[in-house]
Every structure is written in structure tokens, then in C-alpha cells.
Amino acid sequence: MRLSFLEKIDSSVSTVLLFFIVTVVSVCVSCDSAPAATYERSGDLTSEAKTINEVFYEKKIHQYESLHEYEQALLFADTLANLYQQNGETTALINLQLTRAHLCHLEGEFKKASRYYSEFIEQRESLNTVVLSKMTLEQRLSKDVIHAQLSAGDMERKLEESQNSTLSVATIALNTIGTLLLVLLIYCIHTHHRLHEYNNRLKRALTKANEGVRVKDNFMNHISNQIQSPLQLIIRFSNKLHDMHPENEEVHQYLDVIKDSGNKLDDIISGILNVSKLQSEILEEDFTIHRVNALMNEIVSKFRSKTHPGVEICYRSSLSNSFSMLMRYKAAHLLLDTLISNAVKYTEKGTISLESYLDHSKSSLVIVIEDTGVGVSTEAADKIFNLFFKENGYELGAGAGLFIAKQVVEGRKGTLHLDESYKDGARFILSIPIEVKS
């Protein structure tokens, strides 16, 4: 995501460099060929004659701005700028810079907004300088006309002086603009090189990080295979010895201890592998938009056939069916599967209920998983989220499920905790910050 953002910045910098070069060439050509026509349409944007296309693009810009679709509004603004430039509408083009700066500010592109504001101020000041010079020239010419009745030679002299003055002002303005554009061009080139170098460093760091993850996964797989292979042999030969001595109870007891210990060790190794694999998958998965109620109903339906006889599982929600969130789908499934499967496993009678609602005070989605099962003891309440912790050391499973679930939640800057005030079973409360699209 961050690399994509820098690539967009590189593209934006290239566009800015091209814009500055075109601007310098346009200013030079305009001043050399027709200085008097440069600001021919120097009025307000509202006072210029507008074509049908210009009106259409202006309406589109206002329409998308009102819909908060600022990126689309900026695209139409860029097209309108090209149209103004083709038609030689200088004032309209300058005023459009202010609109583009406003849209970039709303979009959160503050660097672009600052750039457009600077361009607007510089171009407006330049225009005002030239207009002011023109007004000064007109005033002087009026005085020359009055004095022409007295002296034709004096009028010609004053006219020549005013032309020289106008030329000097235009030259100064052109030099000033050229200097500013040159400074900005040098700054943009320098910034472009720095961003390019930073982008390359990020790519190298990302490559090293991905390589580190692959090395870690390969190491974990290798170690687990080295341990699980002889462990499976121990368990297999324990079963074989059990069958070879069907009447020796003492041997059976020893073999059962060996087999149970081997199974527990195998569960722990599998848990370590699952934690490593799931963490890698979760980090690599992209965020997508999903409807919350649809996801919850899908998971609840999956567990209805897995509950103990007589146990009812239900889901209620105050959310609309169209309510959606940005989420990692696999991670969300893993999280809810873990919490609901624990409730199904430890609830032999009663109900398992799930509830979802919005906590507007914290801008969070809250999901409550509540059951009437055996619950969690006070002593184990602070340890159930630890890796490989099991309240009953002889039960099956690696004890990694709640640890992984908490890792998933904290990765979204959310919270997952056990409600210790609930005494009729277990109640887990999940709270995740909202990134809504409904």
C-alpha cells in the first residue's frame, strides 16, 4: 500500500515538472509574440463567455464535490483546465487553480492543495501586476491626450516613456516569474530524486521482510517435521505394544501415558505451525468490503449442526442488512470460528447467543458471544489468551485458538475480553473500530 502511494507521488512529480516547463515556454512565447493580448480576457471567471463544454465540466465538478467524490471532481477539473488553456482563458484557468486546491484539501492531498494554492497566488499576483501596469499606462495616455493640444512633441515623448515603462514592468514581471519557476523546478527535481531513493529503500526493506517470513516458515516446517516424524513412530509403536500385551494392565497404563503425552506434544507442534501459518496469511491478506450480518449468519448456520443435542444457537443484530465493513475476510472468519467453536464445545445444554450492535460513543462494532456452558474459572480468566494455555491440561487441542483470535483483534486496534461478571457460562465481548461503507 505504501509503495503504491509513493509511485503515485512519483507520477505527480513528473506531471508537475511538465507543467512548469510548459508554463515557462507559454509565458515566453506570449510575451514575445503578442504582449498586449496576453490578458485579453482578464476579467472574473463569471464574466467570461463560456462554451457549452465549460459549463458542463463546471457542473460536473460541483456535482461530484457535493457527493464527496473528490477524485472524480479533480479529474473533471483537470479536463476543464486543459479546455481553458486551449481557449486562452487565462483568468478562468487561474481561478480554477483555487478550485483544484480546495478539492485536494477535501481529498486529504495536502501537498497538492498547497501547490495549487501557491500557483493561484503567484499567477493572480502576476496578472494583477500586468493589469495594474496597463491601467497606469491608460492613465498616462489620457494625460498625454490632454497635453497633446499644447505640444505634439511633448505627447510623443511621454508616449515613448510610457511604452518604455510598460516594457520594463513586463520584463521585471517575466524575470520574476521565470526565477520562481526555476526555483520550483529545481526543488521538484530534488524532491523527485529523494522520493525515488526512499521508494527504492522501501522496496528493498519489503523484500527482506518477505524473505524473513519465508525463512521463518521454512524453519518452523523443518523443525516440526524433524520432531513429528519420530513422535509418530513412538505413538505407533505404543499402540503396537498395547496390542502385544492385551492382558498386562501395568504395561497398558505406561503405554497410555506415553501415547497421551505424545498426542499432547503433537498438538503443541501443530499449534505452533498453525500460529505461524495463520499470522503469515493474515498479514498478506488484503482488506475487502463485506456485510456484517451476512458473515455472522453464514458462520452461525455452519455451527448449528455441531452443537450438543438440545443446545440452541441464535443470532440477533441491531445492524441493517446493508451495513458493511472493511475487513480481512479470512481473519474475521478465523476469529469468529474460534469464539463460537469454544462455546459449542463447552455448552452441553442451554443456549449459545450472538449479538452485534454499534457503539457510537467509541465508533466501534461490538459482537457478544454468550453461552450457558461450564464457563471459565476466576484463576484461569487472566490466562486464557496465553499461547498453549488450557484450563484442563488433559483436554484435546493445542490451546492456541484464543491467542490467535486476540492477535487478529489487536491487529485491527480492537479489544477482546472475557466478561467476568457473567456467571451462567462464558461471555466474550469483541469490539472493533469501524471502517464503514453502507
CA 117 to CA 99: how far, in whole Å? Answer: 9
In a domain, 292, yes or no: yes
For position 424, which CATH number holds?
A: 3.30.565.10
Report the pLDDT value the prediction gives residue 245, as an integer from 0 to 100. Answer: 72
Q: Confirm whether 21 is domain-assigned.
A: yes
212 domain-assigned: no
Check whether residue 247 and residue 340 sit in a common domain.
no
- pLDDT tens digits, one per residue of 128-171: 787 777 777 777 777 666 666 666 666 677 788 888 888 888 88
How far, in Å, CA of 306 to CA of 325, rounded? 28
Domain closes at, from 267, 284, 301: 284
Q: Is the pLDDT of residue 371 over 70?
A: yes
My answer on whether 404 and 321 are in the same domain is yes
Same domain, 348 and 260: no
Q: Are residues 62 and 124 in the same domain?
A: yes
| Rounded Cα–Cα distance for residues 167 and 173 (Å) | 10
Please tell me whether residues 229 and 322 are part of one structural domain. no
Do residues 257 and 350 share a domain?
Answer: no
Residue 217 DSSP SS3: helix
All cell numbers assigned to 208: 527482506
Identify the helix (H) or strand (E) that includes residue 327: strand 324-327
The residue from 206, 240, 259 where one domain ends is: 206
Q: Are 402 and 341 in contact (CB under 8 A)?
A: no
Least confident of 63-77, 343-357, 379-393: 379-393
DSSP reduced 3-state for 37? helix
Which residue bears the cell 503405554? 255
Distance separating the N- and C-terminal Cα atoms of the chain? 23
Cell of 388: 498453549
Domain count, the chain: 3
Q: For residue 4, what pLDDT band results from cuts at 50, 70 and 90?
A: very low
Q: Which residues pair with 313 in a beta bridge?
A: 352
202 with 227, same domain: the answer is no
| pLDDT tens digits for range 109-118 | 888 888 888 8
Instruction: Name the amino acid, one letter, at 231.
Output: L
Q: Is residue 279 part of a domain?
A: yes
Please report, as a single letter, which amino acid is at residue 12. Answer: S
Residues 383, 365, single domain; the answer is yes
Question: Are 25 and 161 in a shared domain?
Answer: yes
Per-residue HEC secondary structure of 19-76 comes to HHHHHHHHHHHHHHHCHHHCCCCCCCHHHCCCCHHHHHHHHHHHHHHHCCCHHHHHHH
Q: Is the pLDDT of residue 431 over 90?
A: yes
Same domain, 54 and 155: yes
Please indicate, yes or no, if residue 214 is contained in any of the structural domains. Answer: no
Is residue 54 in some structural domain? yes
**What is the mean predicted confidence (pLDDT) over 212-230?**
69
Q: Comparing C-alpha atoms, which of 424, 372, 369, 433 is closest to residue 401?
A: 369
State pLDDT tens for residues 20-29: 443 443 443 3
Place of cell 452443537: 307
Percent over 70 (pLDDT), the chain? 73
Same domain, yes or no, for 242 and 293? no
Per the prediction, the chain carries an average pLDDT of: 76
Give the model confidence (pLDDT) of 164-192 as tens digits: 888 888 889 888 999 999 999 999 998 98
φ/ψ (deg, to 5) at 399: 75, 30
The SS3 call for residue 433 is strand
Could you list the residue range(s) of the whole structural domain that residue 270 is in? 221-284
**Which of 218-227, 380-389, 396-405 has the largest mean confidence?**
380-389
Tell me if 122 is assigned to some domain.
Answer: yes
Question: pTM value?
Answer: 0.44
The reply to whether 138 falls in a domain is: yes
One domain, residues 392 and 275: no
Task: Considering only residues 201 and 30, tell me which one the structure prediction assigns the higher pLDDT.
Answer: 201
Domain boundary among 284, 300, 332: 284
Q: What is the DSSP string of 347-407?
A: -SSSEEEEEEEEETTTTEEEEEEEE-SS---TTTTTTTTSTT--SSTTSSS-S-HHHHHHH
Query: For residue 200, what is its C-alpha cell?
Result: 527504492
d(CA 339, CA 337): 6
Lookup: cell for 276: 505461524
For residue 368, the model assigns a pLDDT of: 95
Cell numbers placing 355: 449479538
